[in-house]
């Protein structure tokens, strides 16, 4: 058994909102399978508009071009990480864990694809790399997502309810079961920043800062009703979304209405807030069923946590106290989680939970590439 062991790792996260590559250098301290962490250095390398479009259009590539982009992205991630290591004079580094960029996510068809070749990252950085984190879970009939809850379970023990507002909104809830491998449920809720940023870009902006555009818009009741009736929103967990689903199921509903961008954003924000609140009510471990034991706080991270209007609307619909942490945790929690998921892979501890994904069993996921 390992005792008081220290690990230094880098987590790489490129999410569905396509903001850029989050790089997070973390020190983990392990005490008999309890973990503490410290984010030592973190950065976000923004993608150019041209590069974002390449990733956004990746589902339409030929097999040859798709394979080439997979290699190119791994090389690019590796170079950015090597530059980060050099810039910050990092000497202690046990491994890198990269989420990759999700292009296809079709667990019901038995596959999911995150590109960004791990072998290339290992070669560029001369460091062990863990990647391809979701496929083992999908092979065991799971959704392959969400995967962050396992990190929340170990690293954020003071909270029981978590909301990540990235390109997709996902929620995680922990019960007080003694068997921790069965005490977590989590799932994707609805479209989030992918949707909001799509409309902000039509105003020449990368995102709707503070939700100011949405705040000045008017909610369109008929559109809001249609959004809340999207089939995915009515499905029971476990369930997960891919970017392709947002462009198939969400965007066309907005296109039916001749309304301002502000009105579209206001309606989208209201939809997200309502779905987040409803997901907690509908959970098999409803918050209201555990009033004496559950921590009545909701920890919100991801880029959407900086959208003050969205946070206000979420707070409006829930009795939980919405907590927005420090900016480092907001921005880099997912990259931190990737580093921790890589650590679990190294230690051969399950890093994908069946209670979250619906898989046949907990799995130790991730391919390992040596430099």
pLDDT of residue 269: 98
The CATH 3.30.420.40 domain(s) of the chain lie at 5-144+334-369, 149-328
Tell the residue number behind the tokens 């029971």, with chain if given.
Answer: 236
pLDDT of residue 181: 43
pLDDT of residue 288: 41
Q: What is the DSSP letter of 117?
A: -
Which parts of the chain register pLDDT below 50?
1, 178-182, 287-294
Residue 164 in contact with residue 302, Cβ under 8 Å?
A: yes
5-144+334-369: CATH, from 3.30.1490.20, 3.30.420.40, 3.40.718.10, 1.20.1740.10: 3.30.420.40
Can you tell me whether residue 11 is helix, strand or coil?
strand
- Angle (deg, nearest 10), helices 308-317 and 261-282: 40
- Count of beta carbons in the 10 Å neighbourhood of residue 360: 12
Fold of 149-328: Nucleotidyltransferase; domain 5 (3.30.420)
Q: What is the DSSP string of 202-235?
A: TTT-SS-GGGHHHHTS---HHHHHHHHT-HHHHS
This model's pTM is above 0.95: no
- Provide the CA 104 distance to its chain's centre, in angstroms: 15
Can you tell me whether residue 192 is helix, strand or coil?
coil
- 12/14 Cα distance (integer angstroms): 7
pLDDT of residue 22: 96
């Amino acid at each position: 058994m390992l005792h008081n062991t220290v690990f230094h790792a880098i987590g790489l996260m490129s999410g569905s909102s396509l903001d850029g590559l989050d790089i997070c250098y973390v020190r983990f301290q392990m005490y008999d399978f309890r973990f503490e962490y410290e984010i030592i250095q973190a950065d976000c390398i923004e993608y150019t508009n041209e590069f974002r479009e390449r990733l956004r259009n990746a589902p339409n590539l030929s097999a040859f071009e798709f394979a080439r982009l997979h290699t190119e992205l791994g090389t690019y991630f590796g170079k950015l990480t090597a530059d980060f290591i050099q810039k910050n004079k990092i000497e202690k580094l046990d491994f890198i864990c990269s989420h990759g960029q999700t292009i296809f996510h079709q667990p019901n068809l038995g596959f999911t694809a995150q590109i960004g070749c791990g072998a290339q990252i290992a070669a560029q950085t001369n460091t062990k790399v863990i990647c391809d984190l979701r496929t083992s879970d999908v092979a065991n009939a799971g959704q392959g997502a969400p995967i962050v809850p396992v990190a929340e379970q170990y690293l954020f023990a003071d909270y029981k309810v978590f909301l990540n507002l990235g390109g997709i909104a996902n929620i995680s809830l922990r019960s007080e079961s003694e068997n921790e491998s069965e005490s977590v449920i989590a799932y994707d809720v609805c479209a989030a920043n992918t949707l909001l940023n799509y409309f902000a870009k039509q105003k020449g902006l990368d995102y709707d800062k503070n939700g100011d555009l949405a705040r000045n818009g008017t909610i369109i009741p008929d559109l809001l009703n249609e959004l809340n009736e999207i089939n995915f929103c009515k499905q029971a967990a476990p369930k997960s979304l891919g970017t392709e689903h947002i462009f198939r199921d969400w965007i066309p509903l907005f296109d039916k209405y001749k309304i301002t961008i502000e009105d579209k954003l206001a309606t989208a924000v209201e939809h997200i807030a309502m779905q987040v609140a409803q997901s907690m009510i509908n959970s098999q471990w409803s918050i209201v069923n555990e009033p004496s034991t559950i921590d009545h706080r909701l920890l919100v991270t991801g880029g959407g946590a900086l959208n003050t209007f969205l946070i206000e609307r979420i707070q409006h619909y829930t009795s939980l106290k919405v907590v927005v942490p420090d900016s480092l945790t907001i921005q880099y929690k997912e990259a931190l989680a990737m580093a921790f998921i890589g650590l679990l892979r190294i230690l051969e501890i399950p890093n994908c939970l069946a209670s979250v994904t619906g898989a046949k069993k907990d799995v130790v996921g991730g391919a390992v590439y040596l430099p």
